[in-house]
Amino acid sequence: MRIYRGKTRLVIIISGLAIKFAKIQVWLFLKTYLKHIFTEGIIKAIKELMVDLWKNEWDCEDTYSQMLMAGVAANKIEAYYYGQNKQYRLLIPTIFSFLGLINIQRAGQPLPNSNKLIRDWLEQQLGKDITAKDPYFYELNDSFCFYRGQLCICDYAHIKAVSGLLEHSDKLQENFRLEDFV
């Protein structure tokens, strides 16, 4: 069993499955919001909260939306995205999702030191523009894995980055050699 603690989700790998639990950080939200009320005043704090929740900026750090619902959003995005793109072998299968609170996916083998190696390999295969679409995605640990003899994306809530890769899925699968990353 392996446990990974991401910013928005807790992932437990057990028996060939990755179980992704959305983090809903109520205590962090309350602590931050109360501090904001005392420093900015209640009216301004309420206005900012409403604007923040209305915008749904899940990918922005330290927003109220991020603290409360980013993990749920990430799980929902992965479940929906896999359902719409099953034909791509590049996506690790999502088997089950319950309201975005829990996702169950197949688990692949982690690629050691994958961040820089994968980014450099992708730029070599597809050009530097591919990693410019979502640079943050390529800084994450464990976004890629090895599953059933193929390179797969196991954290694909970053749609900008993943959609660019799916366009070249067949080419990437053909050119991937595990020994380049071990």
Domain that holds residue 133: 2-23+71-180
The band of 140, judged by pLDDT with boundaries at 50, 70 and 90, is low
Predicted pLDDT at 61: 55
- Of the candidate ranges 86-90, 95-99, 111-115, 149-153, the one whose mean pLDDT is the lowest: 111-115
Q: What are phi and psi of 107, to 5 degrees?
A: -110, 130
Structure tokens at 120: 């450099």
In a domain, 19, yes or no: yes
Rounded CA gap, 48 and 27, in Å? 19
In a domain, 31, yes or no: no
Rounded CA gap, 173 and 102, in Å? 29
Predicted pLDDT at 24: 83
In a domain, 51, yes or no: no
Buried b / exposed e across 87-97, counting CB within 10 Å, b at 16+? ebbbbbebeeb
Rounded CA gap, 123 and 132, in Å? 10
Rounded CA gap, 142 and 124, in Å? 20
Q: Can you spell out the DSSP letters for 108-152? A: -EEPTTHHHHHHHHHHHHH-THHHHS-HHHHHSTTSEEEETTEEE
Predicted pLDDT at 25: 78
Buried b / exposed e across 64-86, counting CB within 10 Å, b at 16+? bbbbbbbbbbbbbbbbebbeeee
In a domain, 93, yes or no: yes
In a domain, 39, yes or no: no
Q: For 90-99, what is the mean pLDDT?
A: 92
Percent of the chain at pLDDT > 90 equals 18
Instruction: Please state the pTM of the whole predicted model.
Output: 0.77
13-27 pLDDT, tens digit per residue, is 999 999 999 998 788
The top-scoring range by mean pLDDT among 33-42, 90-99, 108-117, 119-128 is 90-99
How many structural domains are present in the chain? 1
In a domain, 44, yes or no: no
In a domain, 160, yes or no: yes
42-64 pLDDT, tens digit per residue, is 888 788 777 776 665 545 556 66
In a domain, 33, yes or no: no
Q: For 74-82, what is the mean pLDDT?
A: 90
